[in-house]
């Protein structure tokens, strides 16, 4: 990479955040150095906007952030800049496929986390991560025309890999199904991907893509790896994710974002 870095976009879970979802002290210090160097910073996550708000305020992020894998761009004041709900046919296809398999199914719509069973795999983990609880419903039908994200969650990681492959042709050209973690398969609108989110954010702040850097750990982060001028994978990411990044840092439990910023991004930062 030869272009100076002016904008950094980071994933949250598994990247910026420690395994307990906190922000490590070395990461905080590195972000302060990034700000002092004049490099802009924002967040992209599979999370809903409401579940990103605490970190946005805590870190003083003053750029739009990308929720739902980029399906919703949110202004710093919490208002929506762009939204991309999933087309209804893709919603139905996804729900019908997931209903035939032993997975927990969650639907995100109307700023709510909707589910039919509170005892599904990873429900308690998700509640801890989001910071708020689910809404129990008997039927998803009333929400089908305004779904932001669908999640299939399971302890059977191989099953989710197979469902990802099976779902792809069913929603091709309309939506995307990508695992954000080994245990989560996310369905979002076609334009709801972190690559397009990075491009939209870069255009919004007037920074060429060649002068952007991104950090992530999941399969859903690869889309922004492919668009950014410089990409960094977390140390605990799968081999298939790491090999698609320009560089690899330490794991999130080791506060790898701090190393990524101090050793890999700041030396390339734009100096006005």
Together in a domain, 20 and 48: yes
| C-alpha to C-alpha distance for 255 and 132, rounded to whole angstroms | 25
Range of weakest confidence among 63-67, 181-185, 197-201: 181-185
Together in a domain, 23 and 109: no
Q: What is the pLDDT of residues 129-178, one digit of tens each?
A: 899 999 999 999 999 999 999 999 999 999 999 999 999 999 999 999 98
Of 189, 212, 233, which residue sits at a domain end? 189
pLDDT score at 1? 54
Together in a domain, 78 and 14: yes
> Is 225 inside a domain boundary?
yes
> Is 176 inside a domain boundary?
yes
Range(s) of the domain holding residue 48: 7-83+192-268
> Is 111 inside a domain boundary?
yes
Together in a domain, 99 and 184: yes
Terminal-to-terminal C-alpha distance of the chain? 18
Together in a domain, 175 and 199: no
> Is 2 inside a domain boundary?
no
Together in a domain, 137 and 170: yes
Percentage of the chain modeled with pLDDT above 90: 87
CATH number of the domain to which 119 belongs = 3.30.1240.10
Instruction: Name the nearest CA neighbour of 77 among 46, 47, 56, 59.
Output: 56
Q: What is the mean pLDDT of the chain?
A: 94
Domain count, the chain: 2
pLDDT score at 114? 97
- Within a 13 Å sphere around the CA of 93, how many CA atoms are in the beta-carbon half? 22
- Within a 13 Å sphere around the CA of 74, how many CA atoms are in the beta-carbon half? 26
> Is 172 inside a domain boundary?
yes
Q: What is the pLDDT of residues 76-119, one digit of tens each?
A: 998 998 899 999 999 999 999 999 999 999 999 998 999 999 98
CATH number of the domain to which 34 belongs = 3.40.50.1000
Q: What is the mean predicted confidence (pLDDT) over 229-254?
A: 97
Q: Which pTM does this prediction carry?
A: 0.83
Together in a domain, 150 and 98: yes
Percentage of the chain modeled with pLDDT above 70: 98
């Amino acid at each position: 990479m030869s272009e100076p870095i002016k904008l950094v976009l980071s994933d949250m879970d598994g990247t910026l955040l420690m395994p307990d979802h906190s922000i490590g002290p070395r990461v905080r210090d590195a972000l302060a150095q990034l700000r002092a160097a004049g490099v802009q910073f924002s967040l992209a996550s599979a999370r809903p906007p409401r579940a990103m708000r605490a970190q946005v305020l805590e870190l003083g992020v003053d750029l739009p952030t990308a929720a739902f894998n980029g399906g919703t761009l949110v202004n710093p004041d919490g208002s929506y800049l762009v939204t991309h709900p999933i087309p209804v046919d893709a919603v139905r296809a996804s729900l019908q496929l997931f209903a035939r398999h032993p997975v927990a199914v969650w639907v995100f719509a109307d700023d709510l986390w909707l589910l039919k069973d509170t005892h599904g795999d990873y429900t308690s983990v998700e509640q801890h991560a989001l910071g708020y609880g689910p809404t129990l419903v008997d039927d998803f039908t009333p929400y089908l025309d305004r779904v932001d994200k669908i999640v299939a969650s399971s302890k059977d990681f191989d099953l989710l890999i197979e469902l990802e492959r099976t779902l792809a042709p069913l929603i091709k050209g309309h939506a995307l199904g990508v695992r954000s973690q080994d245990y989560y398969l996310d369905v979002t609108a076609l334009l709801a991907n972190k690559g397009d989110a990075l491009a939209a954010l870069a255009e919004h702040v007037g920074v060429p893509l060649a002068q952007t850097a991104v950090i992530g750990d999941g399969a859903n982060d690869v889309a922004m790896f492919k668009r950014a001028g410089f990409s960094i994978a977390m140390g605990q990411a799968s081999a298939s994710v790491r090999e698609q990044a320009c560089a690899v840092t330490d794991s999130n439990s080791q506060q790898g974002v701090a190393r990524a910023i101090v050793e890999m991004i700041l030396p390339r930062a734009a100096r006005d």
